[in-house]
């Protein structure tokens, strides 16, 4: 196994896309198989050395930033295994944790298959997407990564290798967990007793539900229970075609009504369909796979690069709808009818069915974060960005609270994101240090309001090191202690993922000493 310890060689492993400062580590390990991971984890645990797992570094909550100890990079766990087409309904594939998501999706597409999870940064690793239960624009139709995990291979700090397959091991109805290990041993613990928020997207804390499949403990656990080394993932048939559009509105009330109807029609169809979220059948079925939002401030930013954005537009919605040759015309008509019913600026909106048009619209959707970061860099500031989601009925109130609070504080901002799941990103853009402090105080107020409305503090980016205190606001101290007990059952030495999810006070010192 390759090990690097020269500081100039490991600097890139001391940071992630959050730009969290202060990362430090003694060395970086590059294991090439699951067995090497398990052995090295056991050695670190025996020495009481903290271990931080490093994926591709695309996370934005500081999870990959080490606070000492060693880093385990999954970059060399990059073998793509077999792709299997089982039925017309899809198939499955295996891959190492270090396989790049966009490469995996490309391999699937070449075989007429679709891997639905689509986080914005396609350069992330599959292991990282499992560890964070990653989602993206298509999550509105297909759900997050959890829905596609068939099997996992996981290395523990005890040196054990777990082979977990969905449908095999379950928690008890009373929350008790028993997970067998080699040699007749087992891990016995209990699930946390909190109830997760009633939002379609949620990525804050351990997944818990009486009777749950135990594979779901590791999906979204942010590298704090074990190291995912190999994955087996469900694949769907590649849709024949996709209709995409960017629809502009003169009033936000009309935009929200458009989204509400598109969402309700899509969800009603899925609830009645025996195939759930499967691609639409031969008849034309109105079913959005993506509903994305841009507020007026976001459009003002984008207009600099896209002059065809209509002046005076109060907002826009980007949508995608899967089609076939036989349904494309009818579905285009259904979406245009919806636009007309809600008084959209249909003549100034953009629609496309060919790959070039859709690529241009996806580029439009992804241009905003880049432009925002460029604006901030010129001012030497960092954005403060939310990742909260609330239940359907609470979203209009949450959006109104965002905007009223920001305007009252005279803070510059843009709002965009996954409105189909009531999950938009508020990017507060400080112009100086005083506004930076005001932005962070405002973020705390947003957390309080989201929690009071039954929402989550993190819908897709996880907790990492940046949002630990907000997890306390969501669940309370008792829940954090229950989560810590669960972690100790899988990582008795408490060396794995130090600083992620838990404040240090909830864990003993690495190796089992007194708490910090």
pLDDT digits (tens, 9 = 90+) for 13-58: 999 988 888 899 999 999 999 999 999 999 999 999 999 999 999 9
The whole-number pLDDT of residue 279 equals: 45
- Is residue 148 a contact partner of residue 130, using CB atoms and an 8 Å limit? no
* Per-residue pLDDT at 504 exceeds 90: no
Q: Where are the domains of the chain?
A: 2-73, 80-237, 241-452
* Per-residue pLDDT at 488 exceeds 80: yes
Query: Which candidate, 303, 422, 320, 458, places its Cα nearest to that of 368?
Result: 303
Backbone φ and ψ of 176, nearest 5°: -75, 145
> How are beta strands 288-295 and 186-190 bridged, if at all?
unpaired
The whole-number pLDDT of residue 271 equals: 80
Residue tagged 């970061």 (tokens):
373
- For 314, counting Cβ atoms within 10 Å of its Cβ (0-12 exposed, 13-18 middle, 19+ buried), the class is middle
2-73 and 241-452 have identical folds: no
- Beta-sheet strand order (sheet of 70-73): 2-4, 27-30, 70-73, 51-54
**How many other CB atoms sit within 10 Å of the CB of residue 224?**
26
- Is residue 466 a contact partner of residue 387, using CB atoms and an 8 Å limit? no
The whole-number pLDDT of residue 18 equals: 87
| Tokens linked to 77 | 């766990």
State the pLDDT confidence band at 246, using cuts at 50, 70 and 90.
very high
Integer Cα distance of 29 and 160 in angstroms: 18
Query: Which candidate, 467, 448, 461, 464, places its Cα nearest to that of 390?
Result: 448
> How are beta strands 241-249 and 27-30 bridged, if at all?
unpaired
Q: Give Dmax over CA atoms of the chain in angstroms.
A: 69
Percent of the chain exceeding pLDDT 70 equals 97
| Tokens linked to 504 | 């240090």
The whole-number pLDDT of residue 291 equals: 97
- Is residue 334 a contact partner of residue 322, using CB atoms and an 8 Å limit? no
Integer Cα distance of 194 and 186 in angstroms: 25
Listed in sequence order, the residues at least 6 apart from 237 whose beta carbon sits closer than 8 Å to its beta carbon are: 88, 89, 90, 112, 113, 114, 279
Query: Which candidate, 288, 291, 313, places its Cα nearest to that of 302?
Result: 313
Q: How many CA atoms lie less than 13 Å away from 510 in the CB half-sphere?
A: 23
Query: Which candidate, 120, 29, 17, places its Cα nearest to that of 76?
Result: 29
- For 491, counting Cβ atoms within 10 Å of its Cβ (0-12 exposed, 13-18 middle, 19+ buried), the class is buried
Which long-range CB contacts under 8 A does 87-93 form with residues at least 24 apart? Answer: 88/237, 89/236, 89/237, 89/275, 89/278, 90/114, 90/234, 90/235, 90/236, 90/237, 91/234, 91/235, 92/150, 92/232, 92/233, 92/234, 92/235, 93/232, 93/233, 93/235
The whole-number pLDDT of residue 19 equals: 83
State the pLDDT confidence band at 270, using cuts at 50, 70 and 90.
confident
State the pLDDT confidence band at 512, using cuts at 50, 70 and 90.
low
CATH second-level architecture of 80-237? Answer: 2-Layer Sandwich (3.30)
Query: Which candidate, 474, 458, 455, 470, places its Cα nearest to that of 503?
Result: 470
- Is residue 151 a contact partner of residue 81, using CB atoms and an 8 Å limit? no
pLDDT digits (tens, 9 = 90+) for 327-368: 999 999 999 999 999 999 999 999 998 989 988 998 998 899
Integer Cα distance of 265 and 269 in angstroms: 6
CA distances from 217 to 29, 133, 170, 199, 222 (A): 25, 11, 10, 19, 10
CA distances from 143 to 61, 83, 119, 228 (A): 21, 22, 12, 21
- 2-73 sits in which CATH class? alpha beta
- 241-452 sits in which CATH class? alpha beta
Listed in sequence order, the residues at least 6 apart from 184 whose beta carbon sits closer than 8 Å to its beta carbon are: none
* Per-residue pLDDT at 516 exceeds 60: no
- Is residue 365 a contact partner of residue 137, using CB atoms and an 8 Å limit? yes
Torsion of CA 108, 112, 115, 120, to 10 degrees: 80
């Amino acid at each position: 196994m390759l090990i690097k310890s020269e500081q100039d060689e490991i600097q890139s492993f001391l940071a992630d896309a959050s730009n969290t400062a202060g990362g430090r580590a003694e060395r970086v390990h590059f294991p090439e198989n699951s067995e090497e991971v398990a052995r090295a984890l056991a050695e670190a645990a025996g020495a009481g050395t903290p271990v931080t797992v490093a994926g591709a570094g695309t996370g934005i909550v500081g999870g990959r930033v080490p606070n000492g100890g060693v880093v385990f990079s999954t970059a060399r766990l990059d073998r793509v295994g077999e792709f299997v087409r089982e039925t017309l309904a899809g198939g499955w594939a295996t891959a190492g944790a270090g396989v790049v998501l966009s490469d995996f999706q490309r391999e699937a597409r070449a075989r007429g298959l679709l891997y639905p999870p689509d986080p914005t940064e396609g350069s992330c690793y599959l292991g990282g997407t499992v560890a964070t239960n990653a989602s993206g624009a298509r999550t509105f139709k297909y759900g997050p990564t959890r829905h596609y995990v068939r099997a996992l291979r996981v290395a523990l700090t005890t040196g054990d290798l777990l082979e977990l397959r969905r449908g095999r091991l379950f928690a008890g109805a009373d929350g008790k967990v028993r997970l067998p290990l080699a040699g007749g041993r087992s891990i016995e613990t209990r699930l946390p007793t909190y109830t997760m928020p009633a939002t379609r997207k949620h990525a804050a804390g351990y997944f818990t539900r009486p009777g749950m499949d135990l594979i779901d403990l590791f999906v979204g656990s942010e590298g704090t229970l074990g190291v995912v080394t190999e994955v087996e993932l469900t694949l769907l048939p590649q849709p024949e075609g996709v209709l995409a559009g960017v629809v502009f509105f003169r009033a936000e009330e009309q935009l929200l009504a458009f989204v509400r109807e598109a969402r309700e029609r899509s969800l009603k169809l899925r609830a009645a369909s025996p195939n759930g979220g499967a691609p639409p059948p031969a008849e034309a079925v109105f079913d959005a796979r993506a509903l994305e939002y841009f507020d007026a401030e976001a459009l003002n930013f984008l207009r600099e690069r896209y002059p065809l954005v209509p002046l005076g537009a109060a907002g826009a919605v980007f949508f995608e709808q899967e089609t076939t040759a036989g349904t494309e015309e009818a579905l285009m008509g259904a979406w245009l009818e919806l636009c007309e019913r809600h008084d959209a600026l249909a003549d100034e909106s953009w629609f496309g069915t060919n790959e070039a048009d859709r690529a241009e619209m996806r580029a439009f959707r992804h241009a905003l974060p880049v432009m925002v970061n460029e604006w901030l860099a010129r001012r030497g500031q960092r954005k403060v960005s939310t990742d909260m989601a609330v239940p359907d009925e609470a979203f209009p109130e949450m959006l109104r609270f965002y905007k009223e609070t920001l305007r009252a504080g005279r803070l510059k901002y843009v709002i965009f994101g996954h409105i189909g799941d009531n999950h938009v990103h508020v990017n507060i853009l400080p112009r100086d240090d005083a506004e930076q402090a005001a932005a962070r105080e405002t973020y705390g107020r947003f957390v309080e309001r989201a929690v009071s409305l039954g929402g989550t503090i993190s819908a897709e980016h996880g907790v990492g090191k940046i949002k630990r205190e907000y997890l306390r606001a969501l669940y309370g101290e008792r829940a954090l202690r229950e989560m810590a007990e669960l972690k100790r059952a899988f990582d008795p030495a408490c060396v794995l993922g130090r600083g992620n999810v838990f404040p240090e006070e909830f864990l003993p010192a690495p190796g089992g000493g007194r708490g910090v």
